[in-house]
Each structure stands twice: as structure tokens, then as C-alpha cells.
Amino acid sequence: MTESPRSLPKTETGHPWWRGATIYQVYPRSYCDSNGDGIGDLAGITSKLDYIASLGVDAVWISPFYKSPMKDFGYDVSDYRDIDPIFGTLSDFDALIAKAHELGLRVMADLVFSHTSDLHAWFAESRASHDNPKSDWYVWADAKPDGSPPNNWASVFGGPSWTWDARRGQYYMHNFLKEQPQLNVHNPDVQDALLDIVRFWLDRGVDGFRIDAINFAMHDPELKDNPPAPAGNGIRTRPFDFQLKINNQSHPDIPAFVARIRALTDQYVERFTVAEVGGADPDREMKAFTAGESHFNSAYGFDFLYAEKLTPALVREALENWPDTPGIGWPSWAFSNHDAPRWISRWAPADAREEYARMAMLLFACLRGNIIIWQGEELGLGQVDIPFDQLQDPEAIANWPLTLSRDGTRTPMPWVARQEHGGFTSGQPWLPLGAENLALAVDGQDDDPNSLLNFTRRLVGFRSANEALLSGELKVIEARENLLVFERISASQHLVCAYNFGAEPLNWTPAQPDRWRMIESVNDASARELPAFGALIAERIA
């Protein structure tokens, strides 16, 4: 077991370490392979912790590494208390924690509490009979008189949310793959078992958790049908898209379970919890899951993750949903992650990728809340087009060609540009790296003071050095067409942040310009003009 890093639990400003933190997400399959099998592992991550620390981030979030049959690449857990052999051992995890803490990095684990693998021992016992001790640890239901599923609920990954189990003579529910049976988190015994898992990893030195799909944790016990969704402008690729998901998820009892998790983590020094919340009504649920001081510390939704275009109006709406008001939780933000396509491919024009990336990264660094950097964003990695015959993502395979593959964002990290597989592995990588991403490898950017990598390092340090960015309030001043202006204000600092989202220059000057001094800028922005994709941060001096 290992202690958490840093002797002081709070920052110099008196806030907990995570308030305003920069978090770096690692997908273990794709970060660094230490044994040549083509799949990244814990020892590989440990070997790159010095690099992660060099970014200046506060914590590293590691996507699931638990024992799993890998039907959904670790989000189908068969043993929450062990490491899958492809990633290593518990000793490897302990070594990772120890080195991270030596470097001043906190480590966050990914908790998957809405479902398990169908190979989990709990499910094996539950399906064995109707009266065993775990018989109601999962969501079981009888068939309708005609043998069809109990209701119309649809799986995220396609088809119905129900699979017939002949051993038990009932259907079991799954919001995702049929190999991911839904836990019955309404059951207090299930909650207790999940809390024991939280305690296990806290005792092992984990500093926080990202909680996966928490709004899927509880369903309507009456199993009422979902109503149809109104027709929209988007393409419907799955039956899931035809329903309003109001009965298979988002049950009002979820916040009470969240409070139990928070009560446990509060028994440990300065632990942090952030919930993933997607769906049609994420704002309401994120507020419920982070309300007051008795729920999760933070939550992040999908405001930016699937946005086809980044606009001032989008940013304004997202930020103003999280006012600095008593009782309102603390937000976290991600532009991309292991499920969502890389933002540089979605937003940046082909002829100005670098300029756009610098503007967007400066925006990201100035948001109120925590920011989560998805591995490779600091390099400017783009979405890789994976041919059908090389796809690994079960959702993309099932819904080809209409669903964008998650594999395209999960491609391996390029470490060395001139090596065949980018220094990621000595074997055959589980996914191709992509030629354009290989050219952006760490070794080529590390010593270049003008690289996006070193720009990102500078921005992370800039964010950490300015109290207003870490914990100050945010006021949007302008959000029209391509111009976004907001202020960040703390007790000791007043900043104005201005951004041009477009390719045409904008005339912009702060009010009373002689009372401001520019402290950061990109793309030749000045106090009188924001060139194409220009942005600046100015500090009030009088």
C-alpha cells in the first residue's frame, strides 16, 4: 500500500488539489507496450510517468485495467479486485502508484458500476437459480406471454436491452453489450459490494475515481416502456436512437447511492470523484450527482465531446450551466476522450490545424472547472480512419458504416517518429497508429520550443500559476459569431480572455485598455486585434 502524494492536502489558495486541476487520461491498451505483445500495459504507463509529469498535470486517470474478457475492452469487468494479465499484475499497479506519487502525480481509476461482464462470479451465481443469495444482484425479468422481452428498452450498442438466459428461464437486462449484464444497484447488498471495491482501491493508494455511465446505474423497477423520441435532424443508426431513455436509466434513487460513495471517499484524505454523465438531460443529472458537499466532487458531460463545431455560443451555454452559486457542483471538461472523436479532426480547418489547436488549447486552459487532457491531445493527434477489416470496436462493427468508430481515437501513442510502430511496441500494435499521427511523435516535438507539445506544457503551467483560472468565477462578456470574451475573477486577480474562432481578423479591445496588460497570447493576437484564430489573456493592473 502507498500513501497519497504531497504532504499538504490543500493548495496555497486553500482549495483542495482537484479544484481547477488538470487531469491526463490514459487508455492503457494504447499508451505504451512494455512486453511486445502489441497491447499497452501498466509497466508501459509507469515507464512514461516522467513524460506525464513533464506536462505539469495534477493527476492521471487510467481507463479500466481490471480483469476482463475484453468484449468492450475493459468496460466489461470480470474481477474488480485484480488486474487483467494483458496489463500486468497488482504488483505492477503498486509500482505505478508508487512512482506516480514520487513524481507528485495523483492516480485516478475508472469505476464501472452499472454493469459487469457476464463472466463475473456474481453473474454466474445469479443466473444459477431464482433463490440463490445473488439471484437479484442483476436485472432479471420474465418473458411476455408470447415469449418476447419484458419491454421495449434498446441497447446502446444495437438491438434490445434483453437477452434470454435458458439456465434461469428469464431475460436479463444489458444497456450495452449482451456480455455486460446490468447490475441491480437498487439492491443494498449490491451497493455494499461496490463500496467494498471502492475501499479496496482507496487502500491501495488510488487518489480518485472517474465513475463510468453512472446515470445507467438504476432503472425503473416497474420496467415501463420507453416512449418514442421525436424525429430529429440526425441520422438514427440504432434502435436506441428511436427512444426517450427515461425508464432504463436516470432513476431518482441514484443520488442516494452517490452519497454513499462520497461518504466513503471522505474517510480518506483529499480523494476526488468525477462522474461521466451522458444522455438527453445531462445538466439536471450532473447537478443532482454533484449537489452540495455530499455527492461527487465533479461531473462532466458531452457538451464538447461530439460537437461538430466549436462555437462561442456552445461554450457560453456550457459554461453558464455551471454558475458559481452555493450548492452547484464543480464542473469538469473534456474536448475528446476514448469514446469521442478527436476534436482537432472535428473542428480545425485543414489549412490551419496548428493555429486552431493553439487557440483551442488556450481556451481549454482558461475554462472554469477541471480540464481533462485525452492522451495525444498535447501532440495534436487526429482521428485515424480505421478500415473495416481492422476494426476492434464492437459498436462500430455492429453499426457499420453509420457509427463513427471509437477505434479512431484509441490508436496508440507515437513516441518515436522513425520507428515502425512509433516506439509504442516492438510487436504488432492492436490498432494502426496512422501515418499523420506518427509524424507528430513525442521525440520530434520534445526538443522543439515551438511545438504544440511544449505549448501545452506552457499552458498547463500558466493555468496553475494563475489563481483566477484555477478557482475564480467566470463571466461571459461576449459570445457572438466568432468572438468569445469572458472574465475570470478571484480575490487577488482579474483576467479577461478573448478568442477569435474564425479565419478572418476581428477588431477587439478591452474596455479601458490602459488598465490591462497582456500575459498570454497565440497567433499574434494583440490588445487591438485578434487575427485568424487569435486569442489573448490580459490581467487587470489598475
Give the SS3 label for residue 81.
strand
**pLDDT at residue 128, rounded to an integer:** 97
Q: Is there a domain that residue 146 lies in? A: no
| Same-domain pairing of 517 and 444 | no
| Same-domain pairing of 328 and 477 | no
Q: Is there a domain that residue 181 lies in? A: no
Q: Which three cell numbers stand for residue 446?
A: 520534445
| Same-domain pairing of 535 and 404 | no
Of 434, 463, 492, the residue at which a domain comes to its end is: 463
| Same-domain pairing of 504 and 409 | no
Q: Is there a domain that residue 61 lies in? A: yes
Q: Is there a domain that residue 135 lies in? A: no
pLDDT tens, residue by residue, 247-275? 999 999 999 999 999 999 999 999 999 99
Ramachandran quadrant class, 88 (left: phi over 0; alpha: psi -120 to 50; beta: rest): left
**Residue 329 to residue 408: CA distance in whole angstroms:** 32
Q: Does residue 111 contact residue 198 with C-beta atoms inside 8 Å?
A: yes
Strand segments (E) across 382-531? 473-480, 483-489, 494-500, 506-507, 516-522, 529-530
| Same-domain pairing of 358 and 479 | no
| Same-domain pairing of 413 and 521 | no
Q: Is there a domain that residue 165 lies in? A: no
Amino acid at 383: Q
What is the chain's alpha carbon radius of gyration, rounded to the nearest angstrom? 23
Q: Is there a domain that residue 396 lies in? A: yes
Of 430, 463, 496, the residue at which a domain comes to its end is: 463
| Same-domain pairing of 452 and 496 | no
* CATH assignment at residue 208: 3.20.20.80
Q: Is there a domain that residue 324 lies in? A: yes
Q: Which three cell numbers stand for residue 101?
A: 506519487
**Residue 76 to residue 61: CA distance in whole angstroms:** 18
Q: Does residue 68 contact residue 34 with C-beta atoms inside 8 Å?
A: no
Of 431, 463, 495, the residue at which a domain comes to its end is: 463
| Same-domain pairing of 233 and 320 | yes
- Which residue, chain included where needed, has cell 507528485? 104
Q: Is there a domain that residue 534 lies in? A: yes
Give the SS3 label for residue 423.
coil
**pLDDT at residue 351, rounded to an integer:** 97
Q: Which three cell numbers stand for residue 260?
A: 454513499
Q: Does residue 457 contact residue 361 with C-beta atoms inside 8 Å?
A: no
| Same-domain pairing of 507 and 459 | no
The residues annotated as belonging to the active site are 212, 276
* CATH assignment at residue 535: 2.60.40.1180
Q: Sort 228 into a burial class: Cβ within 10 Å, 0-12 / 13-18 / 19+.
A: exposed
Count of domains observed in the chain: 2
| Same-domain pairing of 337 and 444 | yes
- Which residue, chain included where needed, has cell 484555477? 470
**Residue 34 to residue 502: CA distance in whole angstroms:** 43
Strand segments (E) across 234-389? 272-276, 298-300, 330-334, 370-374
**Residue 423 to residue 427: CA distance in whole angstroms:** 10
| Same-domain pairing of 290 and 377 | yes
**pLDDT at residue 5, rounded to an integer:** 42
Which segments in the chain show pLDDT lower than 70? 1-13, 233, 403
Give the SS3 label for residue 516.
strand
**pLDDT at residue 233, rounded to an integer:** 66
* Range(s) of the domain holding residue 373: 22-114+187-463
**pLDDT at residue 538, rounded to an integer:** 97
| Same-domain pairing of 480 and 513 | yes
**Residue 25 to residue 161: CA distance in whole angstroms:** 30
